[in-house]
Structures are given as C-alpha cells and as structure tokens.
C-alpha cells in the first residue's frame, strides 16, 4: 500500500496480505504504550509489591493439570495409531487421565472417594466413546 496523498492510497494486490496485519500491529503497539503510560505506576506497584507467580498458588493441582493434559494429548494419537479409526486412542487414554485428574483434585483420599473417581473414570469415557464413535460415527483420536 502506498500513499499518493494524505487520503489517497494505491493497493498492490501482491502485498495486500500484509496491509491489515501491519495496521493492527501498529495500533496494538500504540495501545500497549498508552497502557504503560496511563497505568504504568499501578503495574509497577503490582510488580514490585506482593509475591511473584507462581508463589501462592496450588502448585500440585495447577501444574499437575497441565502435565497430565500434555501427557494425555501426546498419548492419544500414539495409542490411536495402534488401533486406527476406532477411537480407542481416546477411549484407552481417557480412562487413566480421568482417574489421575480426579484423584489429583481430591481433598480427601478415602476408599469411597477413590472408588467414585475410579467408577467415573471408567463410565464417562465409555459412554462418550460409545455414543460418539459407535452410534454417531464421529472420528476420535
């Protein structure tokens, strides 16, 4: 895009894909600087006082959720490749994932709560897999 006069512009079709992203990037930059100028003191006060992330959060449950989710996502296609087009990658990985996540979130590890978590981990993926993959033929990993 070139400016012939203050308002007149010529658009080159070959480079037209960069016009809008460039404009938006410039606006974002201006807005970011404006936020820093107008709220800089508040941001600085927040940064200098108080504790830094991740202090003060429940590390085990927060990072445990992320770690289990990443393992779940990595494992699904691998297991799915062993049983192509059956959705079993999803089904077989969801059972241990649900059980692990349920127990991670538990506050009281009794025989009863673990049994409920186990039953939930078995029943929920079975129902979802059966309805979506078997009844509706929806592709699952």
Judged by the rule CB under 8 A, the positions of this chain that interact with another protein are: 1, 7-11, 13-14, 16-21, 24-25, 27-28, 31-32, 34-35, 38-39, 53, 57-58, 61-62, 64-66, 69-70, 72-73, 76-77, 90, 94, 97-98, 101-107, 113, 116-117, 120-121, 124-125, 128, 131-132, 136-141
Residue 95 near residue 121, CB atoms below 8 Å: yes
Give least dist CB 104 to another protein, A: 8
Residue 94 near residue 75, CB atoms below 8 Å: no
DSSP SS3 for 2: strand
Give least dist CB 76 to another protein, A: 8
Buried/exposed 63-81: b ≥16 CB within 10 Å, e otherwise: ebeeebeeebeebbeebbe
Nearer to another protein, 21 or 111 (CB): 21
């Amino acid at each position: 895009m070139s400016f012939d006069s203050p308002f007149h512009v010529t658009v080159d079709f070959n480079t037209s894909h960069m016009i809008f992203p460039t404009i938006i990037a410039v606006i974002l930059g201006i807005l970011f600087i404006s936020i820093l100028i107008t709220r800089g003191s508040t941001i600085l006060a927040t940064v200098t006082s108080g504790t830094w992330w991740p202090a003060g959060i429940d590390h085990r449950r927060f990072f445990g959720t992320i770690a289990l989710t990443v393992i779940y996502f990595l494992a699904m296609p691998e297991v799915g490749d062993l049983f192509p087009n059956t959705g079993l990658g999803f089904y077989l990985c969801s059972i241990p994932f649900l059980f692990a996540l349920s127990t991670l979130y538990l506050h009281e590890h009794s025989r009863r709560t673990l049994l409920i978590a186990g039953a939930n981990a078995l029943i929920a993926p079975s129902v979802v897999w059966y309805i979506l993959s078997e009844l509706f033929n929806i592709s699952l990993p």
